[in-house]
Amino acid sequence: MSSLSAAAASVHNAQAEAPSAPPRVLIVDDVADSRAVLSCRFVSHDFEVVEADCGAEALRLVQEQTFDVMLLDVMLPDMNGTEVLGRIREKFFYLPDLEQPRPPDLPPGLMRLRIVVRND
C-alpha cells in the first residue's frame, strides 16, 4: 500500500463518525501538473480537493475553510512551505505527528505534521 493510500485510509477511518461529508484536502504547489496528478489521486480516493498555487492563497484558504489534510510544497514562488507552516502555527494550534514512524518512502525534506485547527 502506498503512503498516499495509507494516508487516505487513515483519514477515512478518522471520518467514519461523520460519513456525510467527504474528507477535504488542500494541495499547495506552484506546479500545475503536480497539483493535477495529486488531485486525481485524492479524488480517486473520494476526497474533496481544493488547490492553491502559492503560500498566500494557502493561508487565505486555511483561514476560510476546514481541511482534513494539507499537502504543502516546500518551494513556492512567494514563500517557502516552512514559512507557510510557521504562519499557520501563529494562528492555530498544531501537534507534530510523533506517534507514527516516518514512512520509508517519504522523500527527504518532507515533513509530516498533524495540524489541529480550533476556530474558537
* pLDDT tens digits for range 94-114: 545 444 555 565 555 555 555
pLDDT tens column, 1-37: 555 555 555 555 555 555 578 999 999 999 999 999 9
Mind giving me the DSSP string for 27-68? Answer: EE-S-HHHHHHHHHHHHTTT-EEEEESSHHHHHHHHHHS--S
pLDDT in tens, 56-74: 999 999 999 988 888 999 8
The CATH architecture of the domain made up of 22-115 is 3-Layer(aba) Sandwich (3.40)
H-helix or E-strand spanning residue 20: none
Q: What percentage of the chain has pLDDT greater than the value 90?
A: 42
